Amino acid sequence: MTSRFALILAAAGLFAQTDDRTQALNRVAQVATVMVDGDVCRRIQTPRSEGLLTRVDPRDPWAAADNYDVNHAEFIQVKKTLIRLSHLCPEACDVNLWMPVAAAPDRVQIMIRNVYEMSQFWNWGALHQPMPAEMKKVLDTGQRVTVRRRPGMVSVLAPVYDSLGDIIGLVEVVSQAGRNPRENVK
Amino acid sequence: MKHLRFLMLGLATSMACAGADLRATPEYVRPNPFGGIVDSDRHGISGFIRGQVTLESARAAYVSCHLVAVVAEGGEYGLEVNPFPAATGIRLDLYREWFHFLPASNRYIPDALIPVRSPYASRLPEADNHIPGQTAQAFWLDIWVPASTQPGEYATSAVLKTGSRTMPLPIKLTVLSQVVPDTDAVAIDHNTYGTSWFDEQYPNLARRYGQDFSTSDAFYKLIHAYHRVFYEHRGVFHQLGYGHAGKVGPEFAPQLEGSGRSKHVSSWEAFDRHYGPLLDGSAFAQTRRGAKPIPFAYLPINPEWPASYLGWGEPGYEREFVNVVSEMERHFREKGWTSTRFELFFNHKKRYKGFEWDGDETRFAGDYAYFREYARLLKAAVPADTPVKFVFRADVSWTMEKQFKELAGIINFWTCGGGMFGWYDYAPRMLKERGDIVWIYGGTPAVTEPLSAMAVDVLRPWLWGIDGFVRWLTTSPGPDPWNKFEGGTETLVYPGEPFGVEAPLASVRLKVERNAVQDLTLLNDLARVRPLEKLKVDAAKAFNDTSVEDWRTPRPPLADGNPEDWSNTDVDEVIPKNRKFTTALQPAAWQHVREYMLELAREAK
């Protein structure tokens, strides 16, 4: 067997693995759309915190972060659902919840992160951030979107609905080949 | 401890004379690379020391100064510091001072210390520091006086050689009979987070080991080297091992298996490799302070470890927590790791979206219930008569006054925001009478501040009658500390790799902090000859002409309002800006405390 042929086979194997992983994440994302309760998600952040989230106070630039607060019961309920969903992944994965910022439609905030601290989108420490095009697509169309931005990482984004049938947010089901066990331990 | 007298023979000021010259400055006066003194250290300084350096030290102590080789025309030079007689036990450590370029001020300031051997030979400008027109190279001289040295007078010299010229600088050392106690008067803690920054700061080492770096001996040696550099400088080092959503670095925790009833420790291998030498003290065997277990260590416990948050509030969470923490207690006991305080400590904040409550700097009273619950779980996991020391630590700011009351008996290790803690004048005594450990926290003075600013955080906890101070981040020098330095407010050490050292390098600021801790420890010990309260009054007066009360902030009306309504700015505004602690702080401020302490030490038997 020539080395070139071996390389082609190895590459094919890698793609097959990636494809398998993507399919698995996609299945979890599909289930997440069914299982994550959008009405509860809407109630996670406290109204006071939500009101301060985008307010610009030159006298106190940290007001939004210092006053960031959530309702415990709703947060816990949704977080546990996300953890359960992550257990459906055949390998280590996180299921993160993202929600658009009501007062700034061009922005989005991660609402719940999980134990592997993986995300292809979160700018570490950001309370909220510009809405990525992929997320906007999910929120606008309800389609699942697969994203490969960072080396080795695959995310599947899927919509979260409330009882009215409105899309109120999305989940990011994410895993990483060659995951760094020390990254984000900070 | 130490005393550096100015013997002004032909005072030189800021500019190098033609030719070559060997000068010295006290530790709190940093030379610049052009034969002068850095801006922040000039205030009240009349010139360099020439003719003779005179030092005075207690035993079991360091005494330090800067040596400055000035070669006005540039070119080759050599510096030799002759040893003291071997029988004295006195040892010399020589470091070349790196001049960091600060683009913000277009200045060079020395901080990182590169160990060099005497005799040292080089040329100016130094090839690696790339300073156009450099005419002077500074060296930090540490003189270690062991407890076994006989009190008396000792002499040696430093010698600068350029071409055929030889310029000696005599060094006279007086050793006092007093011995600096081994236990520090205050704990100065140096904090960091995880180990992911090793790859950035030691890229060659990481590349050499590739995927195996984090499991290599070199990786663990590096962790221990960080502990060692702070220990050698009379400091404490903390390294938090988990993230805001509960991810635990593998070397910070035992490996776990199972879930619910069956959750248990499956391997101690990485944990023991990391902590074993720290907890039995063997990591410090080759140090001058000797082998001693670390006094404090963060546990990896967080809301997601050892129990999965999936079970929070359910019996399974308690079972997982108790199973594993019980195993930890047993393992620590069997290993004899009974002198270190193991800290149950929550660092997460809800703003980082991992959990629904603030473990760190708790702002909302609704979050207090979590602390009560974890205290209950810890009690369930650990036998009441265990010799292993578990403590429950909380880092508090906004609502500390309320937490002191509501979490009494739950939290027994308080790390308090230094500014706000000053409002509550009753708190130190109240907390200490309970038997709690009390630290305050804050940052690190930039290199642009006078070096005496390093001593403010050493002196303050002692004046307040509490146990220590935490610098919240001390290992992050920035992307290019060598040529584009941002000031060093998040570091006191530097990666040694560019200089062939696979360990952290100490800094001028760390040395100054060490010397202040050392001085204060002896001063505190001198309470046997003068009342402690009198020592405090005199030390504050000597340092910056203040009273002990000046170190506190009177309780502002804001403190009686609802902390949830406060902003950072509100808090900042009610803390008065006393010039004596900032712009009017003299570079020699600590030297005045030292002189006071030396005076007492000379008199004491």
Region B381-385: what's the mean pLDDT?
98
Q: Give the CATH number, domain containing residue B363.
A: 3.20.20
Q: Which of B172, B173, B215, B234 is nearest to B518 (CA)?
A: B234
Q: With an 8 Å Cβ cutoff, is B490 touching chain A? A: no
Give the three-class secondary structure for A77: helix
* Nearest residue on chain B to A122, alpha-carbon basis: B352
Same domain, B175 and B283: no
Asked if B350 is an interface residue toward chain A (Cβ–Cβ < 8 A), one would say: yes
The structural domains of chain A, with segments of one domain joined by +, span 3-176
- Compute the C-alpha angle B94/B99/B101, nearest 5°: 165
The H or E element spanning position B166 is strand B165-179
What is the per-residue pLDDT across B177-226, written as a single tens digit (0 to 9) for each? 999 999 999 999 999 999 999 999 999 999 999 999 999 999 999 999 99
**Closest CA–CA distance from residue B383 to any residue of chain A (Å):** 30
Whether B437 maps to a domain, the answer reads yes
Residue B17 is predicted with a pLDDT of 41
Instruction: Indicate whether B166 and B306 sit together in one domain.
Output: no
Per-residue confidence at B49, pLDDT binned at 50, 70, 90? confident
Q: Is residue B77 part of a domain?
A: yes
- Rounded Cα distance between B67 and B56, Å, is 17
pLDDT in tens, B112-162: 999 999 999 999 999 999 999 999 999 999 999 999 999 999 999 999 999
- One domain for residues B352 and B458: yes
| Share of residues in chain B with pLDDT > 70 (%) | 97
Q: What's the pLDDT at B2? A: 44
Which residues form the domain of B78? 4-179
- d(C-alpha B270, C-alpha B290), whole Å: 25
Its ipTM equals 0.92
pLDDT recorded at residue A13: 52
The reply to whether B537 falls in a domain is no
- The verdict on residue B113 lying in a domain is yes
> To the nearest whole angstrom, how far is the Cα of B522 from the nearest Cα of chain A?
36
Which tokens is B219 given?
């990786």
The CA-atom distances, in angstroms, between A18 and each of A21, A89, A172, A181, B212 are 5, 13, 17, 20, 24
The confidence score (pLDDT) of residue B43 equals 80
The Cα–Cα gap between B160 and B158 comes to 7
Per the structure, how many domains does chain B have? 2
- Which chain A residue is nearest to residue B305, measuring alpha carbons? A115
What is the pLDDT confidence band of residue B1, given thresholds at 50, 70 and 90? very low
Q: Average pLDDT in the B33-50 region?
A: 84
Pick from B145, B179, B213: which residue ends a domain?
Answer: B179
pTM of the model: 0.95
Domain contains B401: yes
A111: which chain B residues are within 8 Å (Cβ-Cβ)?
353
Rounded mean pLDDT, B16-42: 88
Bridge partner residues of A169 (DSSP):
A160
B67 within domain boundaries:
yes
Q: Could you read off the pLDDT of B282-297 as tens digits, one per residue?
A: 999 999 999 999 999 9
Provide the CATH number for the domain around residue B81: 2.60.40.10
Q: How much is the pLDDT for B11? A: 31
CB-closest option in A67, A127, A181 to B249: A181
C-alpha B319 chain-centroid distance: 39
Clarify whether residues B270 and B341 are in a common domain.
yes
B416 near B548, Cβ under 8 Å? no
Same domain, yes or no: B31 and B167: yes
Domain co-membership, B170 together with B247? no
Contact B569 A59 (CB under 8 A): yes
What is the overall mean pLDDT for chain B?
95
Q: What values do phi and psi take at B571, rounded to 5?
A: -65, -45
Distance CA B439, CA B391 (A): 14
* B214 falls within a domain: no
Residues of chain B with Cβ-Cβ distance to A125 below 8 Å are 352
Residue A183: list chain B partners with CB under 8 A: 196
pLDDT for the residue B51: 81
Report whether pLDDT(B12) > 50: no
Question: Would you identify the CATH topology of the domain A3-176?
Answer: Beta-Lactamase (3.30.450)
Same domain, yes or no: B254 and B145 = no
- Which one of B436, B454, B487 terminates a domain? B487
B4 pLDDT band, cuts 50/70/90, is very low
Residue B75 near residue B124, CB atoms below 8 Å: yes
- Tell me if B567 and A62 make a contact (CB, 8 A cut-off): yes
- pLDDT per residue as tens, chain A (186 positions): 455 555 454 545 545 566 899 999 999 999 999 999 999 999 999 999 999 999 988 889 999 999 999 999 999 999 999 999 999 999 999 999 999 999 999 999 999 999 999 999 999 999 999 999 999 999 999 999 999 999 999 999 999 999 999 999 999 999 999 889 999 898
Residue B216 has what pLDDT?
98
Close Cβ partners of B482 (under 8 Å, ≥ 6 residues apart): B98, B100, B101, B112, B498
B158 & B241 share domain: no
